[in-house]
Amino acid sequence: MTQQINVNAQFKKWENELNEKGFIKDENKLINAIRIETNHVILSQLLVLAAHSRLGRKKGDSLAQVWMENALQLNPSNIKAKEFLLHGDWKKKQDILGILTFPSIRETDNRTAKKKIAEQYIEICQTFLRDADDHLQDLTAISDQVSPPVNKDLYAQNKKLADLLASAIETTVNLLKAAEEYEQSIIGVFHTSTYYEDLKTQLSILEKIKLEWQQLFQKEEAQELNFENALDQLNDMIGMELVKKRVNDFYRFLKYQKQRKELGFQIKDELSLNMILMGNPGTGKTTIARLLAKIYHELGVLPRAEVVEADRSKLVGAFVGQTEENVRAIVERSIGGVLFIDEAYSLKREGQTGNDYGQTAIDTLVSLMTGKEFGGKFACIMPVTRKKCAPLLMPIQG
C-alpha cells in the first residue's frame, strides 16, 4: 500500500513537471520506473508520461510513437494514448485530395486535345473515388472514438475533415459525370458549351474544398513550427554535416540581410532562394526542402511555409501550349512558398524529339522565375540524384 502511494506521488510530481516545463528533466529515473513496474495500468500511464517528455524535447520523436502504442496495448482504456494515436491517424490523411489535380482545359482546344483531357479527368476521378469511401470510414471511425468532452478540438477537427471529404466525394462524382458527358459531346456531331461550363463549375467547387482541407493541416503545422524552429530540427538530424553548415551559413546571411533592410540599407541584388539539392536516394533531400521552406517562412522572406511538389508528369504536356499552362499553374500555386520539382533531371532527355516538351517546361520555368510577375515571389528547389555523390547543397541563380 505504501509503495502504491509512493508511485502515485512520484507520478504526480512528473506530471506537474511535464505541465510546467514541457519535459521531465530526470528521464532516467522515469525509465527505471518503467522497467520495474508490473502493473499494466500504471505502466501504461508511465509510458505516456515518458512519450510526452521526449516529444517535449524533440517534436516527432519516433520512440515516443512506439511508447504510446505500447501504452495503449497495455491499457486500451488509456485515453491520452488513444487520442495521441488517433491524432496521428487523421494527419496521415493530409495528401488524399492531392490526386485531384487536373490539367488545364480550354474551349478553344481542338477535338483531339479536348478528348484526351476529358479522358484524364475521368481517370483521375475514378482513381480518387476508388479509395475515397475507405478514407471516409476511417475518419468516421476516429470521430466515434473521440468524445467531445474529453478532447473537443480533436473531435471538431476530425469532424470537419470528414465533412470536407464527404463534400469532395460528392463533387468528384458530379465532376466525373460532367467529364463523361463532355467527352460524349466531343465525340458526337454536335458540341455544346453547357458541358464545358459544368466541368468548370465542379472544378471550382473542388478547388475550394481542397484549399479548406489544406488549411486545416497548415494550422497544425504552424503550431508545430512554434514549438520547435526549423533550424533546430535540421541540426538535430543525424549526419549531413556539410548540409547543416551550408544551411546555417545561409540562414545567418539571410537574417543579416533582413536586418539591413529593416535599418533602411539598400540591397543591390536580392539573394536567390532557389536551390539544387544533390545526393543519392534516401539522403534526405525532400526533408531538407521542407525545412528550408519553414526556415524561409520563419525569417519572413516567404509568407508561407507550404511546399508545392511537382514532377515531369505535372509539368510536361502532350501538345503545344499545354506545357506552358501547366508550369504557370504550378508556379501560381507556389507563390509565397516553395516549388519542389522532383526528379528535375527528367525534364531534359537525351535525344528528345519535337513532341517532347521537357525543354519547354525548363524554359517556361526559368522565364517565370526571373520575370517581373513572379520573380522573387517563390523559391524553387530541385533535388538531383547522382550515383556515389555525397549530399551537397548549392544555391542557384534565378
> Per-residue confidence of the chain (398 residues) as pLDDT tens digits?
444 446 677 878 888 877 776 778 788 888 888 888 888 888 888 888 888 888 777 766 778 878 888 888 888 878 777 777 766 666 677 888 888 988 887 777 788 888 898 999 999 999 999 989 988 887 777 666 655 544 566 677 778 888 999 999 999 999 999 999 988 888 776 667 788 888 889 999 999 999 888 887 776 655 554 445 777 777 777 777 888 888 888 888 888 887 777 777 776 666 678 888 887 777 778 888 888 888 888 787 888 888 888 888 888 877 777 888 888 888 888 888 888 888 777 777 665 555 667 788 888 888 888 888 888 788 888 887 754 343 334 443 33
Q: What is the pLDDT of residue 395?
A: 40
Whether the model pTM is above 0.75 = no
- For 230-395, the fitting CATH number among 3.40.50.300, 3.30.9.10, 3.40.50.150, 2.30.110.10 is 3.40.50.300
Give CA–CA dist 133/156, Å, rounded: 20
Would you call 274 exposed, middle or buried from its count of C-beta atoms within 10 A (0-12, 13-18, 19+)? Answer: middle
Residue 327: count other Cβ atoms within 10 Å of its Cβ: 27
Give CA–CA dist 362/341, Å, rounded: 11
Report the chain's terminal Cα–Cα distance, integer Å: 71
Residue 260: count other Cβ atoms within 10 Å of its Cβ: 12
Say if residues 213 and 98 touch (Cβ distance below 8 Å).
Answer: no
Give CA–CA dist 398/396, Å, rounded: 7
Give CA–CA dist 234/150, Å, rounded: 35
Q: What is the pLDDT of residue 390?
A: 38
Say if residues 64 and 24 touch (Cβ distance below 8 Å).
Answer: no
Give 146's contacts (C-beta < 8 A, 6+ positions apart).
83, 86, 154, 155, 158
Give CA–CA dist 141/165, Å, rounded: 14
List the domain boundaries for the chain: 2-77, 111-225, 230-395
Say if residues 315 and 283 touch (Cβ distance below 8 Å).
Answer: no
Q: What is the pLDDT of residue 123?
A: 93
Residue 342 φ/ψ, nearest 5 degrees: -75, 140
Give the gyration radius of the chain's Cα atoms.
25
Q: What is the pLDDT of residue 391?
A: 37
What residue type is assigned to position 205 of the chain? I
Q: What is the pLDDT of residue 149?
A: 45
Exposure string over 193-224, b if 16+ CB within 10 A, otherwise e: eebbebbeebbebbeebbeebbeebeeebeee
Q: The cell 546571411 sits on which residue? A: 253
Give CA–CA dist 271/261, Å, rounded: 13
Return left, alpha or beta for 277; rule: phi > 0 is left, psi -120 to 50 is alpha, else beta.
beta
Instruction: Give 341's DSSP letter.
Output: E
Q: What is the pLDDT of residue 189?
A: 62
Say if residues 50 and 60 touch (Cβ distance below 8 Å).
Answer: no
Enumerate the β-bridge partners of residue 382. Answer: 276
Give CA–CA dist 5/8, Å, rounded: 5
Residue 305 φ/ψ, nearest 5 degrees: -100, 10
Q: What is the pLDDT of residue 321?
A: 79
Say if residues 165 and 136 touch (Cβ distance below 8 Å).
Answer: yes
**Cα separations (Å) of 241 from 117, 228, 237, 246?**
46, 20, 9, 9
* Grid cell at residue 239: 549526419
Q: What is the pLDDT of residue 396?
A: 38
